[in-house]
Amino acid sequence: MTEKSLLTGKTEPVIVTKIGAKYVAYSHTICAYSAFFVALGVACYTHYYKIVQNEYFGYPDEWFPSVSATTGDRYPARALFQILIALTSGPRFALVFLWYLYITKSAKTSSKGFGLFLLTVGIVRTVACGGWVYITSTDDHLTHDIAMVLYLLCTLPWQLGVLYSSSKENETAVKWRKLLTSAFFTTLPPMIYFFIQHKVQKIPGAYTTYAFFEWSLIIYDVAFDAVSAIEFQNFEFSVADKTGNSSTQQSSVPFTSNVESSISPSTMRALTSFAGFASETYLAFVFWSMLTSLTLLIWYFPLWYMGISGFEAFLLITLLPIILGIAPLRRLFARYRGVFHLISLVGVASYLKADPIWRLSMTAFGIGISLCTWTATWIESNQHTGNLERSAIIWILGLILTNVVKMAWFTENPIWPIMHKENGGLNDIGIFLGVIASVEVLIRDSTSRRSGETGNFVSSIQKTKQFGSSLLASSGFGAVLFALHSMFTDSSTIMRWTVDGYPNYGPEPVPWGVATIAALSLGLLIAPYRRFTTSFGWYLIGSGACAIFYIYSAWTAFYGGLVMGTYFISITPAMIRGISTQPTFKTMLYSFMIYNLLCLAHVWVVAYEFVPGGVYARERTDVILFTLMCLTGLGVLNANRQAMQDVQKKMAQFHVLRSARAMARIFVAGLFALSALVASNRVSNAKTPVPYTTTEKSFTAAIWTIHFALDNDMWASEHRMRDAIRDLELDVVGLLESDTMRIIMGNRDWAQSIAEELGYYVDFGPSSMKHTWGCLMLSKFPIIKSEHHLLPSPVGELACAIHATLDVYGQPVDFIVSHNGQDENYEDRIQQTTELARIMRTSPNPFVFLGYVVTQPRQEIYHLLFDQGDISDIDPTDWDRWCEYIGYRGLRRVAYARISHGGITDTEIQSGKFQLVDNPKDFWKASYDRIHESQVTPALRYPSMFYGQGVRGHRYHVFNEPRYFLN
């Protein structure tokens, strides 16, 4: 195109770029909705309880935030909203000007004067939007409200004017305009009504209803302007470049209306690759979620039977991949993996069944199908190492994603069958995302087959010479799968396996769980370098790290665990490559039998009292770790030879491999950044420990056996535990049967949520490496020091105890939390109680005992504990006790209460109230003069909500009320 210059009189080239106006409407809609709903999601995640709180009510009366609370009250939601709404301003102003040109020049549906009026209204309305966005109600309430009212006032002439000037020939656009305008202005009266109900009548929940109407206005408002895209389908504007410096006389941008798509093939491949990676990574996350939940569900049954239940046989579902020895069946799984991933979601949907047996059965079916699908994909991909490595990388990414998600959910997994809506589960969302991911895989594989591409597998295993040893390859893969499952399916597991007493406690799960995720990510990044990862030198480093992890404790052991995590992740693709080239039936049989035997040994080292032959496995984690590294070494030996052969044959030189490695780096960076965001959010939101009652220098202590945080109906119980602890206002609580950092308990550090949400210091007690069922202490008072004891247990199960010194209002007070052995081994209990008595007797400080000793009052072990321990029973007249006891000395005993378990476990809560005294020696031995509650200061009374029927199943029982004492 050319044009005659007015200055030179010469004809000069003009470069014209045509721009489709509809894309301005698209970009405005995307930016606007992103601004509001990204802010909503981030605000709910970071400050949910704060943004639903108003001047009168908070959660649960108010449970949905208003627009202003979401977008203007809290960082980082406020900042994200303001940035995104700033990006919206460009398309917004462009849309206003384009509408003026459209109605006055193109469609000619309006006079120039009316068009200028509507243009002015649109500009004022846009600027007013900036007023209430960037001047929040916290900054200047009056200015914020004036800008908001001006925005709403301008909306009426804007929407009516646009509707009036719309082209009547475009019936679809007119219909949507009318509908959205009607919806917008119909919403205003009820919104105002509920605002008055809240502001004037002060009705609980009214503001939440108002918020829904307010958010609907946003949806209608943005959607109204989005309709412009319909009218702008054939409306373009041009940008002319008169310099003529372009090499072409005419160009078009990606959003020109006459060039519908200018996305390059490479860009399209990248987008497709990203979508495929994301889908399969989520399905890998589903796999790890089901695998880790299977053993957790199995554990519920022997927990209640107190021995072998028969349901342990469900672990053998992991042997299902042996059916892949049938070649047509294996190819069916690999060819239609999307379908089988979809079927495997039955395991996630098992939460819909309340019956624990149903949940276990459905989960076992789901993990069986998922295992077959993944292993079939690997086997059928073995001739195309690029695809095989891609699948292995994705499988590991699913594990890392599991760690990140569990960190966000306080080490629970939101799609586990022990989760549901009431305790923080997102099972329905998990199923929905799983369906989308499965369908994406199905469509992509189908498209690849139709286009004649290689796809994600080839079926030529029988055509090539198999390399290596089936037994060696199986040993390595089974060992690595056990290592990943037992130690690296939660970012805090290696910390809890090596925790020590204060002050050398070791790293806290938050923020140091990020370091675990970083170590796993590093292992994934170096995994493609198989000549290095399968070398003898790297194996020695991994073995040395394992030794450090076992021998040392706290920080030193944690460092060893990090190196060990990097090592096991780095060799995983090589182990997968190893099993993919071997005869399927025996390789799958050997691999998963080794995995199962290691899992059973991992359980038997602590459950030796309840299994046949358990005495030979008692406390032999050292043997398990030694065996683990030996089996891993066999797999590495096989993988090293195979890696050398692959390099010689140049089998790894595929474009898909390079693409997979690049995509892995992107995903690793994203997951690491997400974990850091989760950790920083948890740190910032964690409550500072403060005693419930500070005026009387008193505290409330309790002991509770919580059955591994699984309630009587097999749901995760920490939310219900949290509510009971909060309502009883417990300052120090000992929780028994608390060690859930094992395969059979799901590697869950459930105490994190209670500690952060209520504000407690945590002493995890003897580490998981110490082979006890666990005792844990939560304290509102700083922990000066603590010792973790393994009490004498020559015959029966190992008993644990925490002896801690707390800073109680400036006074050192000692506490013991202990869990002695069962009644089958009387001599053990005698020795354990003798040791507890020695610890208490030799302490110079005021003392509180919170323990589980398995005896009736006034029997030998009872006298051994209280008489030789130089402590007093909180209430010797209570004859209805069997295992839980509270003792004390050097303190004023105020009250004693027994509270029912509420279905959370099978054991009640026992609690005592105590008060510091100026002369502890005068209170070394107790008197037992009881008084009425009315004679006690209100601040020292137990909560009244637990009288009668109580709350949530918790009530005062046995005495049906607390007992109060003079001293």
Q: Provide the pLDDT for residue 45.
A: 83
Q: 């989308």: which residue's tokens?
A: 436
Closest by Cα among 304, 291, 293, 295 to 610:
304
Average pLDDT, the chain: 86
Sign of CA pseudo-dihedral 178, 180, 186, 189: negative
Alpha-carbon distances of 737 from 403, 852, 861, rounded to whole Å: 24, 10, 21
Phi-psi category of 962—alpha, beta or left, where left has phi over 0 and alpha has psi -120 to 50? beta
Cα-based distances in Å from 704 to 305, 538, 734, 750, 895: 20, 46, 6, 15, 17
Are 562 and 515 in contact by the 8 Å Cβ rule? The answer is yes
Q: List the catalytic residues.
A: 819
Q: Which residue has the higher pLDDT, 408 or 162?
A: 408
SS (H, E, C) 454-503: CCCCCCCHHHCCCCCCHHHHHHHHHHHHHHHHHHCCCCCHHHHCCCCCCC
Rounded to the nearest 10 degrees, the angle between the axes of helix 112-134 and helix 77-101 is: 180
How would DSSP label each residue in 649-661? TTTT--HHHHHHH
Distance CA 679, CA 507 (A): 14
Average pLDDT in the 870-888 region? 93
Share of the chain above pLDDT 70, in %: 88
**Overall residue count recorded for the chain in this entry:** 967
pLDDT tens readout for residues 617-655: 899 999 999 999 999 999 999 999 888 777 655 544 445
From the list 813, 862, 857, the residue with the least C-alpha distance to 836 is 862
Q: Can you tell me whether residue 640 is helix, strand or coil?
A: helix
Structure tokens at 862: 């009872």
Q: Examine the pLDDT at 511 and tell me if it is beyond 90.
A: yes
| Cα-Cα end-to-end distance for the chain | 101
Number of H helices, E strands in the chain: 28, 19
Nearest by Cα to 80 from 106, 120, 42: 42
The answer to whether 594 and 478 are in contact (CB under 8 A) is yes
Contact between 509 and 495 under an 8 Å Cβ cutoff? The reply is: yes
Most confident of 130-139, 382-391, 427-436, 461-470: 427-436
In whole angstroms, give the CA distance from residue 99 to residue 228: 8
Retrieve residue 689's tokens: 């420990």
H or E element, residue 800: strand 799-808
Residue 460 has pLDDT above 50, yes or no: no
Structure tokens at 365: 């079916």
CA-to-CA distance for 415 and 350, rounded, in angstroms?
A: 10
Q: What is the pLDDT of residues 49-63, one digit of tens each?
A: 888 887 788 887 888
Please tell me the predicted confidence (pLDDT) of residue 249: 43
pLDDT at res. 656: 59
Residues 6+ apart with CB under 8 A from 225: 25, 28, 29, 32, 95
Is the model's pLDDT at 264 over the cut of 70?
no
**How much is the pLDDT for 116?**
81
User: For residue 696, is pLDDT > 90?
Assistant: no
Decide which of 503 and 220 is more confident: 503
Binning pLDDT at 50, 70 and 90, where does residue 257 land? very low
List the structure tokens of 757: 């949400």
Sequence-separated (6 or more) residues with CB below 8 Å from residue 216? 183, 187
How far apart are the C-alpha atoms of 860 and 823, rounded to whole Å?
Answer: 13
User: Of 17-21, 95-99, 433-437, where does the model show the most confidence?
Assistant: 433-437
> Is residue 273 exposed (0-12), middle (13-18) or buried (19+ Cβ within 10 Å)?
middle
Q: Give all strands of the β-sheet with 892-899 in edge-to-edge order.
A: 761-763, 775-779, 732-736, 698-705, 909-915, 892-899, 963-965, 930-931
For position 459, what pLDDT does the model report? 40
What is the mean predicted confidence (pLDDT) over 82-94? 79
- Percentage of residues in the chain having pLDDT higher than 90: 58
Q: Quick one: 354 exposed, middle or buried, by C-beta within 10 A (0-12, 13-18, 19+)?
A: exposed
915 forms beta bridges with 698, 892
Q: Say if 467-652 and 698-965 have the same CATH topology.
A: no
Q: Where are the domains of the chain?
A: 2-15+240-262, 22-234, 272-464, 467-652, 698-965
- Nearest CA among 415, 418, 353 for reference residue 710: 418
Segment 746-778, tens digit of pLDDT: 999 999 999 999 999 999 999 999 999 999 999
Residue with tokens 């010797």: 876
If you average pLDDT over residues 1-30, what whole number do you get?
Answer: 56
- Give the Cα separation of 502 and 843 in Å (integer): 17
Rg of the chain over Cα atoms, rounded to whole angstroms, equals 33
* Bridge partner residues of 964 (DSSP): 895, 931
Bigger pLDDT: 172 or 873? 873
What pLDDT sits at residue 65? 85
Give me the sign of the Cα torsion angle 480, 483, 485, 490. negative
Statement: residue 315 has pLDDT above 80: yes
User: In the 3-class helix/strand/coil scheme, how is 806-872 assigned residue by residue?
Assistant: EEECCEEEEEEEEECCCCCCHHHHHHHHHHHHHHHHCCCCCEEEEEECCCCCCCHHHHHHHCCCCCE
Which residues share a beta bridge with 11? 4
Q: Tell me: pLDDT of 398 over 50.
A: yes
DSSP secondary structure code for residue 796 in this structure: S
Of 42, 1, 32, 30, nearest in space to 18 by CA:
1
Lowest mean pLDDT among 21-35, 544-558, 694-708: 21-35
Query: Is residue 251 classed as helix, strand or coil in its secondary structure?
Result: strand
- Dump pLDDT digits (tens) for 726-753: 999 999 999 999 999 999 999 999 999 9
Which alpha helices (H) appear in 227-326, and where do they start and end? Answer: 228-231, 265-305
Contact 750, 718 (CB under 8 A): yes
Q: Is the CATH number 3.60.10.10 carried by domain 698-965?
A: yes
Residue 613, pLDDT score: 82
DSSP state of 776: E
Q: What is the pLDDT of residues 185-212, one digit of tens each?
A: 788 788 888 878 887 778 888 888 888 8
Most confident range (mean pLDDT) of 231-240, 443-452, 525-534, 653-662 is: 525-534
Residue 261 has φ and ψ, to the nearest 5°, of -150, 125
Q: How far apart are CA 290 and CA 364, in angstroms?
A: 8
Q: How does DSSP classify residue 611?
A: S
Q: What CATH architecture is 467-652?
A: Up-down Bundle (1.20)
> Among residues 460, 464, 456, which one has the least CA distance to residue 327?
460
pLDDT tens, 892-927? 999 999 999 999 999 999 999 999 998 888 887 777
Q: What is the pLDDT of residue 571?
A: 96
Cα distance between residue 631 and residue 865, in whole Å: 47
Q: Taking a C-beta distance cutoff of 8 angstroms, is the pair 404, 671 a contact?
A: yes
- Give pLDDT tens digits for 541-596: 999 999 999 999 999 999 999 999 999 999 999 999 999 989 999 999 999 999 99
pLDDT of 818 above 80: yes
Q: What pLDDT, on a 0 to 100 scale, did the predictor assign at position 456? A: 45
Residue 953, number of CB atoms within 10 A of its CB: 13
